Amino acid sequence: MLINNDTIVKDSDPKIRQKSKPVSLPLSKEDETLLRELFQYVKDSTDPELAEANNLRPAVGISAIQVGVPKQLTAVIVHEVDNEEKEITHEYMLVNPKIVSSSVQKAYLNSGEGCLSVQEEHEGHVVRSARVTVKAFDLIQNKEITIRARGYLAIVLQHELDHFKGVLFYDHINPNNPFEEIEGALVI
Ligand SMILES: [Zn+2]
């Protein structure tokens, strides 16, 4: 499948609001191929030369509905720096991921969120949980995994899993007060 900025489903298309269905395991060849293509998109999109040559918008994640397939498949690559200034890369090819618990504490990205399916800017605090626990089958590790995510990774996972429900990031922005201060929230 050709995945680029022209073929990705935008929010002007009602399909982006469609709900995604769980996928059966073991993965069919078709589902596995799609998930690997989604992952490759994310990987290539952050390489400036490949992005330029292939019309890719940089991304940290993409879900299957964004290429028009309503299945619970998502690929995520998040780079982080830990407390000891060490770079860590979180890479996942997730099948049927589910949030099994989320913190009461909220978090949001100070600069707001973006999405491959959204071309206009939507400014404001996208308020999410600061920590989430996600269970999924991960094709990279080829097993069921539990992800205990905090900070940026937690935000990215919630953004991607929202796509399964047809929810977009700006649905979470308070229309009456987009930059509302949230008490006790972690600002990332
Ligand atoms: Zn998105």
Which homologous superfamily does the CATH classification assign to the domain defined by 14-187? Peptide deformylase (3.90.45.10)
Encode pLDDT of 19-77 as tens digits: 999 999 999 999 999 999 999 999 999 999 999 999 999 999 999 999 999 999 999 99
Question: Mean pLDDT, to the nearest integer, of 166-185?
Answer: 96
Distance CA 178, CA 70 (A): 30
Spell out the domain ranges in the chain.
14-187
Residues whose CB is under 5 A from ligand 1 (ion)? Answer: 115
* Distance separating alpha carbons of residues 84 and 116, to the nearest angstrom: 32
SS3 assignment, position 77: strand
Give dist(CA 10, CA 127) in Å, integer. 22
Beta bridge partners of 132: 102, 149
More confident residue, 56 or 84: 56
Answer yes or no: 160 catalytic.
Answer: yes
Residue 110: name the closest of 151, 79, 73, 71 by CA. 151
Q: pLDDT tens-digit profile of 30-39?
A: 999 999 999 9
Residue 81: the pLDDT is 87
| CA of residue 57 to ligand 1 center, whole Å | 12
Q: Does residue 148 surpass a pLDDT of 90?
A: yes
Active-site annotation holder among 49, 52, 80, 160: 160
Query: How far, in Å, from the CA of 65 to the mean position of ligand 1?
Result: 10
